[in-house]
Amino acid sequence: MVEALEQNEIFIPVDRLREFVEAVFVRLGVRPDDAWVVADNLVAADLRGIHSHGVARLERYVKGLKDGLIKPVAPCSVLFETAATATLDARDGLGQPAAKYAMEMAIRKASESGAGFVAVRNSNHYGIAGYYAMMALSHDMIGISLTNSAPLVVPTFGREIIVGTNPIAVAAPAAEGERPFVLDMATSTVPRGKVEVYNRKEKTMPAGWASDETGKSTGDARRVLDNLVKRRGGGLLPLGGEGETWGGHKGYGMALLIDVLTGVLAGGAFGAHVYEDGPDGKPKPANVCHLLGAFDLKGFGDPQAFRKSLAQYANELRSSAKADGEERIFVHGEREFEMTERYEKSGVPIHPKSVGSMRFIAGELGLPYTLD
């Protein structure tokens, strides 16, 4: 889902932004190749309009590295492996390099076995899920990317945050001239960042986004955020909202499924144990878990026939009858590809608070600030 910036955004050239973010990670002891992957992932999020996962998160990564909760150098180790599967230990390193390594392994296994799946444990936040799913596209493969995350979501009929926003991404290649299908979504109704936007604007949230300490839907963004910080009950609602009327139990089920296929499958943390505090009340390493997968189209028939059929389907969707007052039907990924093309020309729009944060980080680390 494309997220709207608030106002007064500052446009920064793509290469300059990526180089600055990369330099921050290198200064913190991250290997240059890994630093580039993290920077590329964060900038890709902003290019695709997913600003909650872009450079706005840089400060959190910097803090994790400085506090020792994220290790700057932590090559993945293989814990278990077959021809088509593997489980990796990310050893508390950055999530982006670990996930990229796992996806590359999954693609290699798929090229040899038809499909490949690699689970990762002891990792950290890996940015936008679609980044890794899209790695499969150039190999005539369908890519899948799943991760669990910090508990922010209440289960259906519950009032305690136990489940993460647990995103899923799937990317599939289409025929030449048609954009790939790229689904990249969380399993909560909205991310926490949207609640924060409504709080800053002092606006009432739509019903079904979040619940209060009683477990019932509320439009009071400040109340929800305060309750999340103080663990007083309530939180984000699963995709579909409160209860079962609009399918909230289905979003809840999807979130649980992703936790099963990541944390449980990888032998790592799941549910409330992701980003869990230790007995002393201090944060422990996050132990975020991922699953990266790839299907080789050749294992199912003619890749070109698949691409052609997907392009046909996309065109039929776009040309179907529009609802009153609507001008366009989108296929997943279209908006993000179009936004990326615009921002590559105009520069990446960054919120002034994020620009200020990057300026502060540069000063703190003794780096030249190059984004003006």
CATH 3.30.60.50 in the chain, residues? 192-235
Looking at residues 257-274, what average pLDDT do you find? 98
pLDDT digits (tens, 9 = 90+) for 127-141: 999 999 999 999 999
Per the DSSP assignment, residues forming a β-bridge with 288 are: 123
Residue 34 pLDDT level (bands cut at 50, 70, 90): very high
Q: Which pLDDT score, from 0 to 100, does residue 1 have?
A: 54
Rounded CA-CA distance 42/54 in Å is 4
Distances (CA, A) of 208 to 204, 216, 235, 239, 348: 12, 9, 11, 9, 31
Looking at residues 111-120, what average pLDDT do you find? 98
pTM of the entire predicted model: 0.95
Terminal Cα distance for the chain, rounded = 29
Q: Which is more confidently placed, 20 or 191?
A: 20
SS3 of 183, please?
strand
Rounded CA-CA distance 248/61 in Å is 32
Q: Which pLDDT score, from 0 to 100, does residue 372 have?
A: 82
What average pLDDT does the chain have? Answer: 95
One of 3.40.190.150, 3.40.462.10, 3.40.50.2000, 3.30.1370.60 is the CATH number of 10-191+236-309+352-365, namely 3.30.1370.60
Q: For 192-235, which CATH superfamily applies?
A: Hypothetical oxidoreductase yiak; domain 3 (3.30.60.50)
C-beta pairs of 183-186 under 8 Å, 24+ apart in sequence: 183/130, 183/332, 183/333, 184/48, 184/50, 184/128, 184/129, 184/130, 184/133, 184/332, 184/333, 184/336, 185/1, 185/239, 186/239
Distances (CA, A) of 344 to 109, 154, 292: 33, 38, 28
pLDDT at 7 over 80: no
Q: Which pLDDT score, from 0 to 100, does residue 21 have?
A: 98
pLDDT at 2 over 90: no
Looking at residues 146-153, what average pLDDT do you find? 97
Looking at residues 313-326, what average pLDDT do you find? 98
In the chain, what percentage of residues exceed pLDDT 70?
98
CATH 3.30.1370.60 in the chain, residues? 10-191+236-309+352-365
Residue 6 pLDDT level (bands cut at 50, 70, 90): low
pLDDT at 82 over 60: yes
